[in-house]
Structure 1
């Protein structure tokens, strides 16, 4: 490719001139992994991580990293000595982070890593911290499998989003593994937890290492090199082009956890937090360990045990590491010293005050969490820094730049819990206002994505905002597969004189819809109905051919909104052909239906054959919106 030099031949042996004189000088049963993808290197920075180090090392060796390069500064608990011993065993590389005056530890370490022969000879690199554990879900849960899948589609990087793990309500110190002790995390769609780390194919000629993602060197921004950068998100879907040049967080269109996630255990237990507060952190941030930081990181809304898939191999490796007497002695000393120091601290009033403040911070609802606001964007500066390639991408027609969001990210596609919904437990749930409608954040009813949308006030937000624009005087609205009846409730408040019928066959959703209508003072009447009319036989699941036909006929609807995922384009077409009344003026096939059995292309073709045309101007997101050409709309 023009403007690109031929990559230098890389040493994959781990025994070349790039390793230190002590690397692999002690014979040990566990050998360095040899990957078909070359050298897979983890780069990290640590300070006093002695009690946790062996778990971190064992975990990431179990994933298939061939090299662990760790920079340490100001260690007082033997972390550096443990890494030196691991280097002697041929399992890690320890480097000193000698920090120049006025430079922060992490940038200092990355500058060294940029010139480190181990890193420069690496094929794939991932930069991450000691409190972060890579969790792979793809294939056999190894780097080799996941990188192989990425390369099969022509990708050379994977952008991995954080999952923020809280304390799980644990106060006291424990020697139990971090990845097994803390299994509660923030909801996947909580955007304050969307920082990323990037696993990418490395060439030091083109890339400069970064904490969250590498940066293309300035001299190559105007070359053809950016065109060769093809990164996937954590679900194996293509990242947007802008991320080649800037950004360190996922956005709603790019977040994904199906392939991998970066488990971030920033606080662990209250006692662990107290220890960190006592000894400081690798980047010397004085205000890092306060109550606001705790409330931000102590998120326990969902259970996430994906890392347990790595436990068996990690445990096997850690047990093997502890057979080395030198390493075992250093590890046990680090643990004992911390426990002794913690025991002394727990006898003070300062410890009681800290625990009290943390308990109070734990009670801060996720919707009220304070996070440091991002730096205000300087649009002129960004424009000046944009490469000509990115400018061309930004100037392309919108449809060419459009990135189709994942089905897992769209709350409207499948907002409800699949399988049985049990409403017998009457535990109270918090309610949140969504477009003036109070909705319950009920985990018995809603999936994790929809729960987060409700708490953010964004449940089916686009449809709730734009559907009213399709309403005309004297309209009659029928929604089939209305779920919890949210859109019908919204229209009831906006158009009190309009006839609105919401049908839902799934009984727990009908019950929930009735409660929501009641909570929002929407009374059922001749013009306001919640129906549980069946469209399918309850015993064999076969479609009742007359069900949809009868609903359309009886309501004589002018607007038909179909969102039942079981209905096909053929079923809808049959019901419309059977109408004795005039056909509806507008038909909307919602995201739940299109995500089910209703093929969008087939449905559009059949509706057009009946005289409908697509709504071109501001159609509803993730829905097929059609209107009758021979009717005033």
Structure 2
């Protein structure tokens, strides 16, 4: 049994319309070693953007672009029909039955479409979505090859929400070049997904976010053959074979690929869309609340520009066809004429004022209304026996790994933190004795979950507090947002706390966090950002760390600086032979940075330190110094 067909289907004349490739044209249909790699989409009055969308996805490597249209008034359908004649896309009329929304109708037609059924790999996505691949050379072929190499037959691609980038007025410039600011990758409200997968219509029913296994195959061996990866090329969890349309903390990933979602574009472009309608006929969808949700511009991301040169080459060739050229510019000029009609009206002015106000809503205050509240009892009742078994086994495996493999703990912070001190405060949550802002621009998804649950670094704080006595010193190197240092300063006022953080954004956040919790710098609590790793004799050394150890004579040393190596740490500790710390804590940031776990344990063993094996920490290593042996005789 196989759910992948052979590439022989690609030349089967029965799967394409009689109009396909009937006009000789210099640009030819892509070929792929993986057979037909098909995009399925829906459009209505997308005329100004059709050529960019087509060119972008031809540049990525799709062999077939199948687009369903309904009720077009700007020539979108005519453009797609001409592209079909040129042999570069496939146009389908979305004949909508009464009472059915356009998008589900298109998917129903796609399910029965001969070309779609002949596809080997398939991805369903919208006209305002542009696939972006970071993996390898940015091609679909390369990414699919890598997925196949690890036995996978699907990739779950998470949205990246792109905002207006502050653009107000209409422009003919490409979408992917006008809008280069997006929500942080950690923003879970933007974690909807689209799924690229090996397709067989006998086993799969198409969906807008992901396909579903047909009921007749649920209790067969077919679910065991489904091996999907997330957007970072890591295995997806078992539950996603059966349900779900969003990534979660444990499954989100952007290292390989993301789906750029340009839901709003400029204010003028948004105005045109608002007065046009939408594919799902949602009443007043394009209001200020929707703008606040989708107009996210916190992080600059221009990764999709890797396709610009090839896209422009393709567009130039497409415009060499006079029929297509006339249709394209007619659609552009029509949109501009419509915009001119209402741009000076009170309705337009009211819309602009509302959007500008909505743009001021900070990301931490955006509300996204789910379609339906989650009902665990109802979900359990709908689960098939095979799904229950797979989900239960996955939960047991996760628990086992959490208990035995601490290195799977996620990073605490995003890779490119924003200057949080210049932004409105996020919602605060009580953790231990400090309140922490749940700011997605600073904290990773897993850390945000811990913060909202009141569990951020909780166990580590408890263990360190138990080992500190009055009059001792705690040195926190790589203190991050200063949480541990702040907790210790607050709960152990007789302990001297010295924090060090080299990242300016995190150091600023630490000072802000302390202020929010009534802590001030002074003799008992201080923060330094002096460089620890300095060049010396042509090699890197950690003279700054040695200086800190000598100055503080700390009793407990916490190391979370991702730039420190095992050798740097061991050398600094060896230099403190007369006053070494009684315990050393190695955190996730350090051990996921430059510090090798095996090497640092070995080197610190030479300094008299052994890892704590009795009830070890799950998110850090705690090494305790053995007392020196008594002199014999």
TM bucket (normalised to shorter chain) is 0.7 to 0.9
1:469 maps to 462
1:593 maps to 590
Per-residue CA deviations over 1:171-206 (Å, capped at 9, x if unaligned) read 221111111111111111111111111111111121
Correspondence 1:451-490 to 2 at 5 A: 458=451, 462-470=455-463, 471-472=465-466, 474=469, 476=472, 477-483=474-480, 485-490=482-487
**Aligned residue among 198, 201, 218 for 1:201:** 198
Matched, 1:244 2:241: yes
CA distance in 1, matches of 2:532, 2:92: 67
CA contact (8 A) 1:393 1:401 kept: no
Relative to the length of structure 1, the TM-score reads 0.87
2:66 maps to 69
1:317 maps to 314
Residue 37 of structure 1 aligns to a residue whose secondary structure is coil
Correspondence 1:528-607 to 2 at 5 A: 528-530=525-527, 536-537=533-534, 539-540=536-537, 542-543=540-541, 548=546, 551=549, 554-557=552-555, 559-570=556-567, 572=569, 579-580=577-578, 584=582, 586-604=583-601
Give the drift of 1:490.
3.0
Change (3 A) 1:47 1:565: closer
Per-residue CA deviations over 1:333-371 (Å, capped at 9, x if unaligned) read 111122111111113211111111111111111111121
- Give the total of aligned pairs: 615
Per-residue CA deviations over 1:55-82 (Å, capped at 9, x if unaligned) read 1111111111111111111111111111
Change (3 A) 1:11 1:183: same
CA distance in 1, matches of 2:96, 2:480: 58
CA distance in 1, matches of 2:287, 2:504: 47
Per-residue CA deviations over 1:309-346 (Å, capped at 9, x if unaligned) read 11111111111111112111211211112211111111
Residue 484 of structure 2 aligns to a residue whose secondary structure is helix
Change (3 A) 1:307 1:534: closer
Change (3 A) 1:626 1:242: farther
1:412 maps to 412
CA contact (8 A) 1:83 1:94 kept: yes
1:30 maps to 27
CA contact (8 A) 1:416 1:450 kept: no
Comparing 355-364 and 218-227, the one that deviates more: 218-227
Matched, 1:234 2:231: yes
Per-residue CA deviations over 1:470-504 (Å, capped at 9, x if unaligned) read 22262643323334534212322233333323245
Give the drift of 1:521.
4.2
CA contact (8 A) 2:132 2:304 kept: yes
2:338 maps to 341
CA distance in 2, matches of 1:313, 1:159: 26
Structure 2, unmatched stretches of 5+, are: 629-633
Per-residue CA deviations over 1:370-426 (Å, capped at 9, x if unaligned) read 211352222223223334443333333856236899999944367677xxx9x9xx9
Give the drift of 1:459.
10
Per-residue CA deviations over 1:260-310 (Å, capped at 9, x if unaligned) read 111111111111111111110111111311110011111111111112111
Change (3 A) 1:389 1:600: farther
Change (3 A) 1:409 1:601: closer
CA distance in 2, matches of 1:409, 1:27: 56
Relative to the length of structure 2, the TM-score reads 0.87
Comparing 332-341 and 36-45, the one that deviates more: 332-341
CA contact (8 A) 2:411 2:588 kept: no
Comparing 598-607 and 114-123, the one that deviates more: 598-607
RMSD across aligned positions (CA): 3.7
**Aligned residue among 596, 611, 617 for 1:619:** 617
Change (3 A) 1:556 1:448: closer
Give the drift of 1:97.
1.1
CA distance in 1, matches of 2:412, 2:231: 21
1:142 maps to 139
Structure 1, unmatched stretches of 5+, are: none
2:181 maps to 184
